[in-house]
A and B are shown apart, each in its own frame.
Chain A
Amino acid sequence: MNELKRTGFYEAHVAAGGKIVPFAGFELPVQYSSIVAEHTAVRTTAGIFDVSHMGEIFLQGPDALANVQRLVTQDLTKVKPNRAVYAGMLYADGSFVDDVLVYCLAEDAFLLVVNAANLAKDHKWIEGNVFGDCVCENRSDSISQLAIQGPASRDIVQKVTDVDLTDMKYYRFRQGNVLGIDAIVSRTGYTGELGFELYFDRSHSMTVWNALMKAGQPLGLQPAGLGCRDTLRLEAGMALYGNDIDDEHTPLEAGLAWIVKMDKGDFNGRSILEKQLTDGLTRHLVGFELVDKGIPRHGYLVYAGDHEIGVVTSGTMSITLKKPIGLAYVQHGFEAVGTEIDVEIRNRRMKATVVSLPFYSNTR
Chain B
Amino acid sequence: MSFPKGYMFTKDHEWVSLDGDIASVGITSHAADQLGDVVFVELPEVGTSYEHGDVFAVVESVKAAVDCYMPLSGEIIEVNEELEAGYEIMNQDPHGAGWIVRVRATDVSELNELMSAEAYTEYLSTLE
Contacts and interface: CB of A to CB of B under 8 A. Distances in A.
A319 B38 CA distance: 11
Contacts, number: 37
A243 B62 CA distance: 16
A346 B58 contact: yes
Interface residues of B, number: 13
B88 A35 contact: no
Contacts of A205: none
Given A36-B88, A317-B60, A346-B58, A295 B65 contact: yes
A131 to B, nearest CB: 43
Contacts of B42: 293-294, 346
A35 B40 contact: no
Label chain A's interface by main secondary structure.
Answer: mixed
Contacts of A294: 40, 42
Query: In which size bucket is the chain A interface?
Result: 10 to 19
B44 interface: no
A316 B42 CA distance: 15
B60 A227 contact: no
Given A227-B62, A227-B63, A295 B40 contact: yes
B78 interface: no
B24 to A, nearest CB: 23
Interface of A: 30-31, 34-36, 227, 231, 293-295, 297, 316-317, 319, 324, 346
Interface of B: 36-37, 39-40, 42, 58, 60-63, 65, 88, 91
Given A227-B36, A317-B62, 12 more contacts: A34-B36, A34-B37, A35-B61, A36-B37, A36-B39, A36-B62, A231-B62, A295-B60, A295-B65, A297-B65, A317-B60, A324-B40
